[in-house]
Structure formats: structure tokens, C-alpha cells
Structure 1
Amino acid sequence: MARILISTSIRLGFDEAGSGDAVPILFLHGVGSDKSVWAPQLAHFGAQRRALAFDYPGYGESDPATAGTTRDDYAAAILAAMDALGIDRAHVCGLSLGGVIAIAMYAAAPARCVSLILADSFAVHPDGAAIYERSIAASADMRALAEGRVDALLAQPADASVRSEVIETMAKIDPAAFRIGAEAVWLADQRDRAAAIRVPTLIICGTEDHVTPPALSRELAHLIPGAQYEPIEGAGHLSNLERPVEFNAVAKTFVEGVEART
């Protein structure tokens, strides 16, 4: 675990594994999580390349976010971290809010994204405003929110250790940071941005995801020219954590295919 200075006053937390000359891969977490959710992916991809997972401003080991921070500010923070870490271009993999931020990163700096992997995410959520209102109402007590929400996030019956990890990670999030993140994800409408993507894109979704259902991922795949859609059988909203072997295999095949064509 480490932190990197991205401006005169803000540091971002990140975890890193691996090294070498292959194109790095970056991992971006969801609104109720932090960089630790990507541990299975860092271990897997770190065997062949630099693999990094970031905390957003206000999350994990990062410095607090300022009021009014947006999804575009999150994207700018990750791009600044790439600068600070000497990463010119990368594969960008984001889950839920992370997928929203990955699309925003591409909109801001398309040349820096070799490919996109958008997991359990969307361009616009038809129930986003209602989910946002419920999230804000429940955010004063993050442990209670986590305990009340975990079974909707995970396919059932959920692995007990994964369930516990999700609760403990969400319970530690600062309520103010969570509210900023909730606005960034649930009120997003990036349909125009998605339609403008022109890099290889993989769309992943758990077949048991009831938070961002597969229909939203299929819609996203239709918006992005040439996007590939891959379901993860038996996974819920946190497909990378619930089915890491399957998630890693699909993502690895995609990344290696992109690199073989370039």
C-alpha cells in the first residue's frame, strides 16, 4: 500500500503488483468499496505486468475529497496519478462507479486508454435517482447500510468470507465521501460519451447482478462500437470478487487479444 501526490494538496492511495514492459492495467472500485476489492486481480495480472488499484479522493488511504467533487474529478485524479507513476497509457478496468469513471477517463484523455473493461456498470441507470436518494438517506450509518445492502450486492447464497469482507470495507467509508461517490455513479448519464468510445472495450456483468442488471451492460455494449459482452455466471454485482477466476480469465483473454492486434 502506498500514496502518490497528484496535486499540491492531494494524495491518492494505491496498491501495485508486478512490473515489466507490458502495458499496465488499472483497476477502479465501486461506490461502496475501495482499492482492496481488486486484490485477486492484482495478484493475477501482476504476474505479467504492472497492475494498480486506486482509492478515489475521500476513499481508503486517499486524502479527503472536497465538496462538489464529480465523476470527472475522479477521472482527472486517476489520470494525474498515472502521470505521477510514469504511466503514459494503460488498460483501464472499472466496476460499477469504476466503470463510470473509466468512461469519463476516456472522454478526457482517449489516447491514454489502450482498452476499457467495464464491469457491472452502465451508461445511465433507469432507477439511478431513486438509488441515489436511498443511498443518501442511509449514509449516516455506513455499517448499518453495509449490513442491509450486502445481500443485494452478492449472488445468493454468498460466500461467508466475501460477505464479511464487503461489510467491513463498506463500513469504513467516510459518509461524506460515500455521498459524493453515490452522486457520481447513480446520477450519471454518459450515453453520448459511451457512443464516442473508439478503443477495444469489454463489458462484463454477473448474471445475478440485481443492482446493475445484465440488461444495462448489454445496452452499454450496444452503445460502444465493437464492444464485447461477457457474462460471469453465478456472480452478483461484485463479479470480480465473487468469481475471481472466471473474471480474471475473461479479462486476461481480452487484454492479450488487444495486444496481439496492436
Structure 2
Amino acid sequence: MTDIRRGQLHSDEKPLLLLIPGLLCDKAIWEEQIRVLSPLVDCVVADHGAADSIETMAQQALRLVPPERRFSVAGHSMGGRCALEIARMVPERLDRLALLDTGFQAREEGATGEAEAEKRMKLLNLARSEGMRSMGREWARGMVHPSRWSEPVFEDILRMIERFTPDQFEAQIRALLHRPDATLLLPSIVAPTLLVCGRQDVWSPLARHQQMQELMPGAHLEIIETCGHMSTMEQPGDVARAMTDWLIF
């Protein structure tokens, strides 16, 4: 049996880590973490394709893992919601869980929920009328720390967004607008859990991660300083260190 404790691997087979990207994100979101963690674990990155529900995304990601294998899963943003669904589907196979810059509640009813839908559809309309890059330039300003608007990482994020189509964007918006609620799930999760949040994340704020920590006995919250929503790209080294500690202890 494979086990990681205090940096020791007790098997010829490395443990498996399933990495799940968020909205309009792909493998690039995990690039530095894969580089740092690969000596410890085999990293597999999910691709949401044309999936238009969180449940379908979770099922697709789960198919990347051999059915007999135990594994750990880390999800960023929308990917964190997929990771929670995997924890719901196969809790007996889950070694560890990491939730980064994400949330756990369903879309609110009433005016607040309608405002969220309207905001997301406005971005979709911009993507269809002016292209994914133009939409991404507007959207990403709220996703990263303002100090990074003129840094190379901002261009990296725009290039990543450009790899998606408006139809894929629409499918992912549908998934988020109809996202499942995980409030009752959180207290039942027994896998060692890491919560990561950028200090200046305005999309999935720190207060939400503190709520999750209160609902998950034993969960560890790591706050990433000078960082917005895109923590794995904004402060990749800090996130990689937090994930290394999560994997080996």
C-alpha cells in the first residue's frame, strides 16, 4: 500500500493526485505545482470539455483515476466544487482533499442569485461579441491582485482564457449557476483537508474559506498573501509549499 508520511514513500508506486482546474482554466493553472509535487505524486489534470454541470465534470475527472486506486484531489475555484462532488461520490477512496479559492454553497435565490446570473451572462455576451481575450481582460482584473495587472502572469491568464470558446464558457456558466450545495457534505469529510485562499480574493473571499474551516473539523486554512483569486499562478511557490506540507504530513 502506498503511504506518504513525513516525506517517505512506502511503495514503488507513487500516490496519485487529481488536479481540477476552475472556470476557463486548464493545465497551466497547475504548472508550478506539478513541477514541485511530481517527485512525490503522479499528477493527473482534469479537462472539463463541453460539460455543463458540476456533477458531470466530477464524473469525467473521476474516470481519469483507475477504479481500484485511492487518490488525493485538489480543485481550484469551480474545480474545488468538482472536488467536493468527488468527495461525495467516492469518500472511501479519497486520501486527501485540497480546496483552493472556491466555495461550497448553491447560488442564492432571489435578487442576489439573479444578479450573479446577470453578471455572468454579461461576460458571456462580451465573449461572443468581442472575443474571449477582450472578455478575459475585463474579467481577469477582478481575479488577480491589482499589482499583477501589468505583470507577465496576467498575459499568461489571458492566453489560457483564449484557449476556450464562448460555447465552452457558456457550458461552464450553466454548471456554476446550477451548482450543488455542499453545506451538509463538509462536516462528513474525514480526509485531511487543505483550504487555500488568496488574502485579496474578492471572488471567493477569505470569509467563505473560514466558514468552510468551521464546518470541517481538522481542516487547515492557508492564507496566501498579496494574492487574488488565481493563487496557483499568482503565488505558485507559496501554494506549492502548502500543498507539499498537505501531502507529506
Going from structure 1 to structure 2, the CA distance change for 1:178 and 1:240 (only over 3 Å counts) comes to same
Q: Deviations over 1:42-90 (max 9, x none)?
A: 11111222112221123xxxxxx4xxx311111111111213xx77121
Letter in 2 for 1:111: E
12, 26, 29: which one aligns with 2:18 = 26
Contact 1:29 1:37 in 2 (8 A): yes
Match of 1:171 in 2: 162
Equivalent runs, 1:48-59 vs 2, <5 Å: 48-58=40-50
Instruction: Give the letter aligned to residue 208 of structure 1.
Output: Q
Against the structure 1 CA distance between its residues 195 and 184, is the aligned structure 2 distance closer, same or farther, given a 3 Å change threshold?
Answer: farther
For residue 123 of structure 2, what is the aligned residue in structure 1?
138
SS for the counterpart of 1:40 is helix
Q: Indicate the residue corresponding to 2:152 in structure 1.
A: 161
| Runs of 4+ with deviation above 6 angstroms | none
Task: Flag the 1:20–1:147 CA change in 2: closer, same or farther, 3 A.
Answer: farther
Decide whether aligned partners of structure 1 residues 223 and 184 sit closer, same or farther in structure 2, where only a CA change above 3 A counts: farther
Question: Judging changes above 3 Å, is the alpha-carbon distance between structure 1 residues 239 and 87 closer, same or farther for their aligned structure 2 residues?
Answer: farther
Query: Residues 132 and 90 of structure 1: is their aligned pair in 2 closer, same or farther, counting only changes over 3 Å?
Result: farther
Task: Assess, with a 3 A threshold, how the Cα gap between structure 1 residues 201 and 182 changes in structure 2: closer, same or farther.
Answer: same
- Higher relative contact order (CA closer than 8 Å, sequence separation 6+): 2
Aligned equivalent of 1:209, options 201, 209, 227: 201
Match of 1:101 in 2: 82
Q: Which residue identity lines up with residue 189 of structure 2 in the other structure?
A: I
Decide whether the 8 Å contact of 2:15 with 2:40 is kept in 1.
Answer: no
Structure 2 residue matching 1:230: 3-state secondary structure: strand
Residues 133-182 of structure 1: per-residue CA shift (max 9 Å, x gap) = 32223212322210111111111210621100111111221222212212
- Asked if structure 2 preserves the Cα contact closer than 8 Å seen for 1:100 and 1:185, the reply is no
TM-score (norm 1): 0.81
Q: Which residue of 2 aligns with 1:219?
A: 211
2:152 is matched by which residue type in structure 1?
A: S
CA contact (8 A) 1:203 1:221 kept: yes
Measure the CA separation in 1 of the matches of 2:113 and 2:178: 6
Could you tell me how far apart the structure 2 residues matched to 1:225 and 1:55 are? 31
Question: How many matched pairs?
Answer: 228
Q: CA deviation at 1:202?
A: 0.7
For residue 157 of structure 1, give the secondary structure of its aligned residue in structure 2: helix
Counterpart check, 1:180 vs 2:171? yes
Query: Within 2, Cα distance between the matches of 1:128 and 1:32?
Result: 21
- Cα displacement string for residues 226-253 of structure 1 (whole angstroms, at most 9, x for unaligned residues): 2111101111101111111111111111
Does the aligned pair in 1 maintain the 2:123–2:139 contact within 8 Å? no
CA contact (8 A) 1:29 1:54 kept: yes
Structure 2 counterparts to residues 54-93 of structure 1, below 5 A: 54-58=46-50, 65=51, 69-83=52-66, 88-93=69-74
Task: State the distance in 2 between where 1:55 and 1:184 align.
Answer: 14
* Residue in 2 that maps onto 1:121: 102
Corresponding residue of 2:228: 236
Partner of 1:30, secondary structure, is coil
Q: 1:195·1:223 contact (CA, 8 Å) conserved in 2?
A: yes
Structure 2 partner of 1:200: 192
Q: CA RMSD in A?
A: 2.0
Aligned-partner SS, 1:117: strand
The answer as to whether partners of 1:154 and 1:209 remain within 8 angstroms in 2 is yes
How many percent of aligned residue pairs carry the same amino acid?
24
